[in-house]
Amino acid sequence: MKVKSLLFLFLMFTGIYAQNKDEADKLVESGIVLHDKGDYEGAIKNYDKALELDKDNLFALIEKSLTLNSLNKFDEVIAISKHAIVTHPESGLQNVYVNYANALDHLKKNEEALKIYEEGIQRFPNYYQLYFNKGICYANSNKSSEALSCFQKSLSINPKHSGSLNAIGILETNSNRIPAVMAFSRFLIVEPQTSRSKKNFENLKSLMMKGVTQTGEKAVTINIDASTLPDSTGVKKENDFSSADLILSMSAGLDFDKKNVKKTDAENFIRKFEVICASLEETKNDNTGFYWNFLAPYFIEMKNKKLIEPFAYIAYVDSGEEDVAKWHKKNQDKLDKFYEWSKNYKWSTN
């Protein structure tokens, strides 16, 4: 009889716990809705109610720390994150580490933040957000090289991560044009028609015409950045795109040629982009580095599959140009073919 009584009490306790957890999870889900609407205080109230029902509910702890970050209550984020790590040592703590380190970064405790990111990466080496946010931390400390390494790792884990593409495009704009072009181009594929895509479309167009200006009715000036020229010593460095960069400048100058001036912006973009991709294919075997191994093959295959045209019109979708709107209406089949290819593209795992 005693054994039966203990079993009954255990089952009763288990049932109550499960019921409380379910109710707590529902409260957290409602809190997330409030958070997304910008009602952070309302969201916190829901998370606190959830924690009253289930005091160590990890779902509630993670979402509360995220909302507290939005409220700039960084000390509270740190306290909750420490509690979550102690009470759930074997659970999915990926976002706990992200929120924890992010709070330290906001408090200008960059070295401590980097240690927490590294601790999280040691435990969850395949979680791209840890690398991405670690990259943001490095960028905030003006350590661009370290930041780029983190963004590259994040992208290699999740090739659809627009944040990593955006960050790479921005950081490479002034130092390595072709990787920036590739990053912004890929960004426009994975995140079209947003406020960021509009900005990055303008960034992409500027990069394509960098250093090229019309100085007279029949005169064009092309300024070549000396840092993009091939190394005079003949020593190859990683992520060297000097040949493609030079060819792009020459091709951009042809925008003002009489045979191209009557073409639309999208048509001239296609011409220049095809030149870039052809150059990448011709020189790929002599070059190394993340961008050569990861991004360049995607665009080379795009060219070989004859998909640069639909890509260009995806990039130009918010340009407001009449010819772009007409193309989209007439070529849904080409867009479908492009997206099907891009979705099934096999990214390098090296």
pLDDT-derived band at 9 (thresholds 50, 70, 90) equals: very low
The pLDDT value recorded for residue 54 is 86
Compare 316 and 92 and report the one with higher pLDDT.
Answer: 316
Q: How far is CA 107 from the centre of its chain?
A: 24
Q: What is the pLDDT of residue 16?
A: 43
Whole-angstrom distance, CA of residue 350 vs CA of residue 348 = 6
Using a pLDDT cut of 70, give the percent of the chain over it: 90
> Which run of H or E residues covers position 243?
helix 242-253
Residue 312 belongs to a domain: yes
Is 246 part of any domain? yes
In this model, does residue 10 exceed pLDDT 60? Answer: no
The DSSP bridge partners found for residue 216 are 219
Q: pLDDT tens, 223-282? A: 777 666 666 666 678 999 999 999 999 999 888 888 888 899 999 999 999 999 999 999
Number of H helices, E strands in the chain: 18, 2
Count structural domains, the chain.
Answer: 1
Own/partner long-range contacts of 45-54 (Cβ < 8 Å, ≥24 apart): 50/23, 50/24, 50/25, 51/24, 53/20, 53/21, 53/23, 53/24, 53/27, 54/17, 54/20, 54/21, 54/24
Q: Which domain holds residue 307?
A: 206-344
Residue 132 domain-assigned? Answer: no
Look at 11-20, 38-47, 83-92 and tell me which has the smallest mean pLDDT.
Answer: 11-20
Q: pLDDT for 154-173, tens place per residue?
A: 999 999 999 999 999 999 99
**């160590």: which residue's tokens?**
56
**What pLDDT score was predicted for residue 11?**
42
CA distance 158 to 194: 20
Q: Is pLDDT above 80 for 176?
A: yes
Give the pLDDT mean for 29-47.
Answer: 94
Cα separation, 307 vs 309, whole angstroms: 5
